[in-house]
Amino acid sequence: MSALQAFLTSTIGRKVLMALTGLLLFLFLVTHLAANLLILVDPEAFNAYSHALVSNPLIYIAEFGLLGLFVLHFVSGIAIYMAGRAARPFGYKDDRWAGGTSHKSVASSTMILSGAFFLLFVPLHVWGFKFGAFYDAGGGVRDLHRLVVEEFQNPLLVGFYVVGMSILGFHLWHGLGSAFESLGVTHRRSLRRTGQLIAVVMAGGFTLIPVVVYLMGDRL
DSSP 137-172: -STT-B-HHHHHHHHTT-HHHHHHHHHHHHHHHHHH
CATH, residue 206 = 1.20.1300.10
- Please check whether residue 173 lies inside any domain of the structure: yes
Determine, yes or no, domain membership for 118.
yes
- 98 within a domain of the structure (yes/no): no
Q: 98 falls in which pLDDT band (50, 70, 90)?
A: very low
| 113 belongs to a structural domain | yes
68 domain-assigned: yes
Asked if the model's pLDDT at residue 102 lies above 60, the reply is no
Q: What is the mean pLDDT of residues 161-173?
A: 95
Q: List the one residue out of 39, 60, 72, 86 whose CA is nearest residue 217.
A: 39
Burial code (b: 16+ CB inside 10 Å, e: under 16) for 196-211 equals bebbeebbebbbbbbe
Give the model's confidence band at 96: pLDDT under 50 very low, under 70 low, under 90 confident, else very high. low
Number of domains in the chain: 1
* pLDDT, tens only, 146-165: 999 999 999 999 999 999 99
- Is residue 83, in this structure, part of any structural domain at all? yes
**pLDDT over 50 (residue 214):** yes
Assigned domain for 99 exists = no
Q: What is d(CA 175, CA 198) in angstroms, rounded to the nearest whole number? A: 11
How many Å from the N-terminal Cα to the C-terminal Cα in the chain? 58
Range of the domain at 175: 3-90+105-219
Of all residues in the chain, what percent carry a pLDDT higher than 90?
Answer: 59
Residue 46, in any domain of the structure: yes
The answer to whether residues 129 and 144 touch, using CB atoms and an 8 Å cutoff, is yes
